[in-house]
A and B are shown apart, each in its own frame.
Chain A
Amino acid sequence: MIWIFDLFTLIFLVITAIISLHVKDLLSAAMIFGVYSFLMCLLWAQMAAVDVAFTEAAVGAGVSAVFLIATVLRTSRRSSD
């Protein structure tokens, strides 16, 4: 187990989760959520779960981010909190 890689990915995971919930611009929040999903995908490839990593990269980082961006563009972009 590459524990330094594991450690840094997990720390960045927590940081991106907090930032994506903290920014007031919803388009930035959607993009940072895509970064979060991609970090999760790296973590699973490192934990020998390659099938889960494939699915997360295609479905989590790809389709979820597209859904979120489409909804943000169809509704309002600013958030109050």
Chain B
Amino acid sequence: MELLEAISAKFNYWVYIVIMMIGLYAMISKNNLIKKLIGMSIFQTAIILFYVSIGVKEGATIPILYHEQVHPSHDSGHHEADTSHGAGEHGSDADLHAAGPLIEADDFANPLPHVLMLTAIVVGVSTLGVGLAITQKLYGEFGTIEEHEILDSIISGK
């Protein structure tokens, strides 16, 4: 029962390990260069899956604030409190009440890993593009995209 709990509670992390090992296996043991690059992309997405899973909270929503949450009752209360400046501490008390409900950090998912992984996605796609460009140049040079045939033609060419 404890084992089942450990598997189901952290299922994202188990799947991340599995996908990462699938990508690593493809990068090492596949012979076709395009298959190797697909394996590299799978490896990268597995790491992004791990980082996004860190930022998940129970019962949290997307990290976007509505306008009413930041500026509560913007057009009615705020300007009145600003103009009646001579009211003293009564005015500041009304201002404190107009601030509305407090914004709790527990209500929102952690956006820091998301921002980091946004960069990682773009870097992954550019890496894939460079790899595919090199694959096309190798095909123009050797007429094949299988790794062992390229190695054979290099060795026999010497």
Is the CB–CB distance between A48 and B128 below 8 Å?
A: no
Docked pose: A55 CA to B12 CA in angstroms: 20
Chain A contacts of B19 at CB under 8 A? 13-14, 17
**Interface of chain A, main secondary structure:** helix
- Using a CB–CB cutoff of 8 Å, the interface residues on chain B facing chain A are 11-12, 15, 18-19, 22-23, 26, 30-32, 34-35, 37-39, 41-42, 45, 48-49, 52-53, 55-56, 58-64, 108-109, 111, 113-115, 117-118, 121-122, 124-125, 128-129, 132, 135-136, 139, 144-146
Chain A contacts of B145 at CB under 8 A? 75-76
8 CB-based A-B contacts, threshold 8 Å: A1-B59, A21-B26, A26-B35, A33-B41, A47-B56, A51-B114, A80-B146, A81-B35
**Interface of chain B, main secondary structure:** helix
Is the CB–CB distance between B136 and A64 below 8 Å?
A: no
Is the CB–CB distance between B11 and A50 below 8 Å?
A: no
Q: Which residue of B lies closest to A40 (CB)?
A: B45
**Known contacts A1-B58, A59-B125: A7-B11 contact under CB 8 Å:** yes
Is the CB–CB distance between B11 and A21 below 8 Å?
A: no
List residues 38-81 of chain A with CB under 8 A from any CB of chain B.
Answer: 40, 43-44, 47-52, 55-56, 59-60, 63-64, 67-68, 70-72, 74-76, 79-81
Chain A contacts of B35 at CB under 8 A? 21, 26, 29, 79, 81
Chain B contacts of A49 at CB under 8 A? 52, 55, 62, 109, 113-114, 117
Chain B contacts of A67 at CB under 8 A? 125, 128-129, 132
